[in-house]
Amino acid sequence: MSEQLNILFLCTGNSCRSQMAEGWAKALKGEQYNFYSAGIETHGLNPNVVKVMAEAGVDISGQQSDTVGDLGVEFDVVFTVCGHAHETCPVFSGAPRLIHVGFDDPPKLAKTAASEAEALGHYRRVRDEIRSFVEHIEEYL
């Protein structure tokens, strides 16, 4: 059994921001911690997220959209990465540390984009912001 911290990234639908966070975390810090992502509900893996993460060299195509209950893991730290998840965060066993680090919602921003390139630009910006957060995750632990 691993002595590493179990860290969860939580958002509303586990389709975008939490998926990016899990992907970056496993790619950059996977040797140090156990990373998971989940949603309050499941919305499926957003194809634009898979695309922009692949552009950055991180393959998340095998990740799934899960709820916390689907994972069956006791967490040490839970990062809420969207406002709705922060406001409606479920109760966890084991009393993990709850930390809110919010990011913009790329699908919401993309709805008003004038082109696909502009829409993907929102995903890329948030992807890069999440990478920066993960690179400095120890500052929160």
Hey, is 117 helix, strand or coil? helix
Q: What span, in angstroms and rounded, lies between the C-alpha atoms of 122 and 88?
A: 25
Catalytic sites, residue numbers: 11, 82, 89
Query: What token pair was written down for 43?
Result: 């919305």
H or E, element range at 8: strand 6-11
| 116-135 vs 17-29: helix crossing angle, rounded to 10 | 50
Q: What span, in angstroms and rounded, lies between the C-alpha atoms of 87 and 6?
A: 22
Sign, CA torsion 98/105/43/31: negative
* Number of residues assigned to the chain: 141
